[in-house]
Structure 1
Amino acid sequence: MKILTLIAGVLALLLLLLSGPLYQAEILGLMNAFLAMRIALIVGAVAIVLALIQVIFMRKTLSWSATGVAVICAAVAIVIPLSMMNKAKSVPPIHDISTDLVNPPKFVAILPLRADAPNPAEYQGEEIAKQQRAAYPELQTQKYQQTRDQVFDAALVAVNTMGLELVNSDKSSGLIEAFDTTTFFGFVDDVVIRIQSDGQMTLLDARSKSRIGKSDIGKNAERLNGLIAGINTHLN
């Protein structure tokens, strides 16, 4: 049974670790990649049960090293999918986040890159705005005393610091466009920053939208919060 336990634990971990790369390599579709993660969780749970049976009933023949490796592999295969599921349940199933919910910044240079994206570039309006207000009330238009050029330069530095892929930087129109690629699944999220003068204040709005998927599991809001924090740091 110790060999079976070890195989189950290692298999669970491999299923988890390969689900993302196999999706990126277009060997698995998105639904099958998610299915692989769920199977990894189940196989991991089986490995844990087998390990417990050995610890309780088969101590004399127990290999602590093999069982330990199996449990560690299985635990990783269980914890990561569960954490993702719990995070998905804790945030609204939306994928388009903006600091301006009435007149969100529009993608311009990025539009050709989204031509084949399942999620349209257009903002879907009050249906998602209401959900965002409840989940991310902190994401609002940012107001600065600094000049438009100073805020633009700080935003550009923040974009580069975060490792976003710059697509367009137009100081005359106050627009910065970039995209971010997630590490594991390689999902692409697009970002647009709009900087405008309003009397003696400079207004900054930012928007982050996924090209694929219904829920972003909070990633776009997290990105905008990080971007705003980076801009504030560079301006202080």
Structure 2
Amino acid sequence: MTAVLERRSSSAAIWSRRFGIFAAVLFTLSAAGHRTEMLETLPFLWLLAIVFGLALLALGLALAGLKRIWDTGERGASAAVWGLIIAACVLAPFAISAVRIVLYPNINDISTDLADPPELTVASSRAGPGINPVEPISEEAARLQSESYPDVAGRRYEYTRDRIIEVVDNLVAARGWRVLRRSGGITPDTPVTIEVEAKSFLLGFPADVAIRISEDENAAHVDMRSASRYGTHDFGDNAKRIRRFLADLDAQVAALVSR
């Protein structure tokens, strides 16, 4: 009889693919659950930590499997490559976040008016595990914002307060932001403050936003504040949120001229 030697399959490669798929599925389901508010933020953060660990494990097993396959000729290259690709895809958002931690300042509360920021009344009354308290913007945070985001500033428009409020309401609705409170506006000299809940684009992390509209000599002034509900670092999201909203507001107000 002639002996036939059968090549062994790399167990590291096979388990790499399995752990990679598990991490990808867990990440997708937990992100969808958090985005749709079926999953609260703190449990979601724990699941993200588990996903990160599983993806790292899959990556390590894929590399070990490929080395073993190269050295001994074992089978399983396809499984190792798929494990490597899936792990890299799952780890990509974590890598992007790490880069943003380096690029952006370690602050989580941004305002166009650092001396007198719009009030976050609803957020101030909110309490719970891990929720950031709403506090006055410190001198250090104000300095970091001024250095990193010098373009984040309020707006002045040659329109009445009520006209600008109408435009702001339309922009808030278009973004799907949830209105939490509307205050002020009892007299023409009283600013109107609209407090809303906004969410980050991909994972739906909540932020508390206040938009203050005041009137002075037939001109409306708009200031905005955005504060992350969780975490000490906002990865630049709050400044980006304010910039985009005010840029859209500029465009909408400019369009009023042609009407």
1:1-236 equivalence runs, <5 A: 1=10, 2-14=13-25, 16-17=27-28, 20=31, 21=33, 25=39, 29=43, 32-50=46-64, 52-53=66-67, 56-57=70-71, 61-62=75-76, 64=78, 66-109=79-122, 111-112=124-125, 114-116=126-128, 118-170=131-183, 172=185, 173-182=191-200, 186-236=204-254
Contact 2:181 2:194 in 1 (8 A): yes
Whose Rg is larger? 2
SS at match of 1:13: helix
Contact 1:13 1:73 in 2 (8 A): yes
SS at match of 2:85: helix
User: Counterparts of 2:148 and 2:62 in 1: how far apart (Å)?
Assistant: 36
Query: What's the RMSD between the two structures over aligned residues?
Result: 3.0
Contact 1:195 1:205 in 2 (8 A): yes
Q: Which moved more, 1:177-186 or 1:158-167?
A: 177-186
Shift of 1:185: 5.4
Query: In the alignment, residue 197 of structure 2 is paired with which amino acid?
Result: F
User: Counterparts of 1:9 and 1:109 in 2: how far apart (Å)?
Assistant: 41
Q: Which moved more, 1:3-12 or 1:21-30?
A: 21-30
Contact 2:63 2:84 in 1 (8 A): no
Q: Kindly, what percent of the aligned residue pairs are identical? A: 26
Query: In the alignment, residue 60 of structure 2 is paired with which amino acid?
Result: V
TM-score by length of 1: 0.83
SS at match of 1:97: strand
Query: In the alignment, residue 36 of structure 1 is paired with which amino acid?
Result: I
User: Counterparts of 1:14 and 1:58 in 2: how far apart (Å)?
Assistant: 32
Contact 1:190 1:209 in 2 (8 A): yes
Change in Cα spacing, 1:63 to 1:35, as seen in structure 2 (3 Å) is closer
Change in Cα spacing, 1:223 to 1:182, as seen in structure 2 (3 Å) is same
Contact 1:110 1:178 in 2 (8 A): no
Query: In the alignment, residue 161 of structure 1 is paired with which amino acid?
Result: A
Change in Cα spacing, 1:132 to 1:27, as seen in structure 2 (3 Å) is closer
Contact 1:13 1:44 in 2 (8 A): no
**Structure 1: where are the runs of 5+ without partners?**
none
Contact 1:166 1:178 in 2 (8 A): yes
* Number of residue pairs the alignment of both structures matches: 234
